[in-house]
Homo-oligomer: A and B are copies of this chain.
């Protein structure tokens, strides 16, 4: 599939609609979700009549949505399509087969995910590691050691590419097969903070960088807290290594708990300022952990499970695997679960195969977890 044009016409049209929706003035994420719930897809929203849209948005916003895209939006669409020419760049829209199911289930999932690097990592068991930017040497060593051991067990370590605990966790995780995902608060084409540029480039090459922000979005203070819901949303749990009382890591942990994720916290001395946040979390119900083994047991991941590293930075399946998948798909809408039973594969491999076919415009996703072959 590597030789197939990664952005066929149907895919371009769909992506254009998503970018128009996300760029529409006055339409925030919450409104976009309401419109998607009402109409089903960006295409259906733009095809809806004025009265139907106005019932949700009022007449002014409905008229604005019906207007042709602005120059800025057209430039963004062009920039995004050009960026997607690189085989290691991807955009997933909410509802795409490869869009991580765990993230899709949070209350406010991103409409689009910009992905740079190994998109296959999105299908791995994942754990977030977060903590203070002003971490101690011991805290950073703990973050790196936990991340390395989790990654060795095949768990992908998710963090936010900040200084301190985040950077140490990414670095530790890059050593193992589980690798790492950095969820950034800027466009996926930018590197921030500057001090982590070398690390960010390594993650782009060996791991995966994820952003919900349009390409070129500069760092703004409001975007970083929003980004935290994706860090926990991609993960089955959040491990807090060091955190001051009333710090941002505690907000991440609270959001994670609201998303139903397990929160883990490392204890420390009663005299250590950066243990206070972790102790507060433990008082509030977080699981106190001393070892990686405890985290893996809680995640129900065997510490002995070793997932082979993928050598390619673009881990889409081979053409023969896709041909077999297409053959199984037949000509009727098919449930993904049923497909999984028919094929000698796992959900991760199947998702990647379906993603490749979807990006090639050869299948489409239908409501209710079904997929169908497109006959051209």
Q: Which residues of A contact B (CB under 8 A)?
A: 138, 142, 266-271, 275-276, 279, 282-283, 287-288, 290-291
Please name all residues of chain B whose beta carbon is closer than 8 Å to the beta carbon of A266 when the two chains form the complex: 270
What is the minimal beta-carbon distance from A129 to any residue of chain B, in angstroms? 14
Question: Of the candidates B279, B290, B291, which one forms a contact with A288 in the assembled complex, judged by CB atoms under 8 Å apart?
Answer: B279
Please name all residues of chain B whose beta carbon is closer than 8 Å to the beta carbon of A142 when the two chains form the complex: 270
Measured CB to CB, the nearest residue on chain B to A146 is: B270
- CA of A283 to CA of B291, assembled, Å: 13
Measured CB to CB, the nearest residue on chain B to A267 is: B267
Question: Of the candidates B269, B287, B291, which one forms a contact with A269 in the assembled complex, judged by CB atoms under 8 Å apart?
Answer: B269
6 smallest beta-carbon distances between A and B, as pairs = A267-B267, A270-B290, A282-B288, A268-B269, A283-B288, A279-B288
- CA of A283 to CA of B285, assembled, Å: 10
- CA of A276 to CA of B41, assembled, Å: 53
Copies of the protein in its oligomer: 2
Measured CB to CB, the nearest residue on chain B to A281 is: B288
Given A138-B271, A267-B268, A270-B291, 18 extra CB contacts under 8 A: A142-B270, A266-B270, A267-B267, A267-B270, A267-B275, A267-B279, A267-B282, A267-B288, A268-B269, A268-B270, A270-B290, A276-B290, A279-B290, A282-B282, A282-B288, A283-B287, A283-B288, A288-B288
Measured CB to CB, the nearest residue on chain B to A270 is: B290
A-B contact pairs, 9 of them (CB 8 A): A138-B271, A266-B270, A267-B267, A267-B268, A267-B275, A268-B270, A270-B290, A282-B282, A283-B288
Please name all residues of chain B whose beta carbon is closer than 8 Å to the beta carbon of A283 when the two chains form the complex: 287-288
Please name all residues of chain B whose beta carbon is closer than 8 Å to the beta carbon of A275 when the two chains form the complex: 267
- CA of A275 to CA of B290, assembled, Å: 10
Measured CB to CB, the nearest residue on chain B to A142 is: B270
Measured CB to CB, the nearest residue on chain B to A278 is: B267
Please name all residues of chain B whose beta carbon is closer than 8 Å to the beta carbon of A138 when the two chains form the complex: 269, 271
Please name all residues of chain B whose beta carbon is closer than 8 Å to the beta carbon of A288 when the two chains form the complex: 267, 279, 282-283, 288
Please name all residues of chain B whose beta carbon is closer than 8 Å to the beta carbon of A287 when the two chains form the complex: 283
Please name all residues of chain B whose beta carbon is closer than 8 Å to the beta carbon of A268 when the two chains form the complex: 267-270
- CA of A291 to CA of B279, assembled, Å: 12
- CA of A244 to CA of B172, assembled, Å: 29
Measured CB to CB, the nearest residue on chain B to A266 is: B270
Which of A271, A279, A290 counts the most chain B CB atoms within 10 A? A290
What is the minimal beta-carbon distance from A147 to any residue of chain B, in angstroms? 15
Please name all residues of chain B whose beta carbon is closer than 8 Å to the beta carbon of A269 when the two chains form the complex: 138, 267-269
- CA of A134 to CA of B142, assembled, Å: 26
- CA of A283 to CA of B297, assembled, Å: 14
- CA of A112 to CA of B266, assembled, Å: 45
Please name all residues of chain B whose beta carbon is closer than 8 Å to the beta carbon of A276 when the two chains form the complex: 290
- CA of A290 to CA of B279, assembled, Å: 8
- CA of A271 to CA of B271, assembled, Å: 15
Measured CB to CB, the nearest residue on chain B to A276 is: B290
What is the minimal beta-carbon distance from A239 to any residue of chain B, in angstroms? 12
What is the minimal beta-carbon distance from A125 to any residue of chain B, in angstroms? 23
What is the minimal beta-carbon distance from A141 to any residue of chain B, in angstroms? 10
- CA of A268 to CA of B271, assembled, Å: 9
What is the minimal beta-carbon distance from A320 to any residue of chain B, in angstroms? 48
Please name all residues of chain B whose beta carbon is closer than 8 Å to the beta carbon of A290 when the two chains form the complex: 270, 276, 279
Measured CB to CB, the nearest residue on chain B to A290 is: B270
Which of A138, A142, A269, A275 counts the most chain B CB atoms within 10 A? A269
- CA of A230 to CA of B294, assembled, Å: 35
